[in-house]
Amino acid sequence: MTTKTDITRLLHRWRDGDSEALDELTPVLYDELRRIASGQLARERRNHTLQSTEIVNEAFVRLIGTDVPWQDRAHFLAVAARTMRRLLVDHARTRGREKRGGDLARVTLQPYDASAEPVSEEMLTLDHALSALAEQDERAASVVELHHFGGLTYDEVGEALGVSAATVKRDLRVARAWLRREMTGAAGAA
């Protein structure tokens, strides 16, 4: 079993150019990313067109292609959570464009079912609300992102942000209330 310390050590080796470290990290990080993606998709509609494997593969490709000075496992998972959130939001926006006609004429042999693949309006509303929260309180928005989208525990979020688990819990409570109010207002205005 690979510990958090082992992962951090491998991330540092990889950051320093050791490609063998990436080979050792890949299965461990892939499992972590699958856990995060599964958690994110569990909160989406049941017939979501993305699968956790697709999200993990795309996120992993983006993550290994970046030049981020990885600090530790929590930092990697924080960046992964943000990357996956971006993928889900981009997917929801794309689905919205396609729903409104998109660039291509669609031809299908299946009967049309408008309810089969609805756009995740809730994801877009949450993304907008999180962006607004980040303008007000960047740390609180990060706490929500890491805990909700990243599946990190209070301790892991605290480690990633350099605050205590109690601060994470408090920030999360305040952020959830703020987001609920913001999203309810946005839904009422729509």
CA dihedral (45, 46, 49, 53) in degrees, to 10, reads 110
Q: Is 125 a domain residue?
A: yes
pLDDT of amino acid 113: 41
**Digit-coded pLDDT (tens) for 43-75:** 665 655 677 788 888 888 888 888 888 888 888
pLDDT-based confidence at 31, cuts 50/70/90?
confident
pLDDT of amino acid 178: 92
Q: Is 78 a domain residue?
A: yes
How far apart are alpha carbons 187 and 177 in whole angstroms? 15
What are the tokens at 136?
């007000």
Q: Is 115 a domain residue?
A: no
Q: Is 69 a domain residue?
A: yes
The number of domains in the chain is 1
Chain centroid to CA 9: how far? Answer: 24
**Digit-coded pLDDT (tens) for 104-147:** 444 343 333 444 344 457 777 888 888 899 999 999 998 988 88
**Digit-coded pLDDT (tens) for 77-89:** 888 888 888 888 8
> Which domain range does residue 182 map to?
4-99+120-189
Ramachandran category for residue 76: left, alpha or beta (phi over 0 → left; psi -120 to 50 → alpha)? alpha
Mean pLDDT rounded to a whole number for the chain = 78
Q: Is the pTM of this model over 0.85?
A: no
Q: Is 105 a domain residue?
A: no
How far apart are alpha carbons 75 and 173 in whole angstroms? 22
pLDDT-based confidence at 154, cuts 50/70/90?
very high
Q: Is 108 a domain residue?
A: no
pLDDT-based confidence at 94, cuts 50/70/90?
confident
Smallest CA-to-CA distance from 159 within 1, 7, 2 is with 7
Q: Is 112 a domain residue?
A: no
Q: Is 114 a domain residue?
A: no
- Residue 24, classed as helix, strand or coil, is helix
How far apart are alpha carbons 43 and 188 in whole angstroms? 22
**Least confident piece of the model among 12-16, 100-104, 183-187:** 100-104
Q: If you search the block for the tokens 């929500």, which residue do you land on?
A: 144
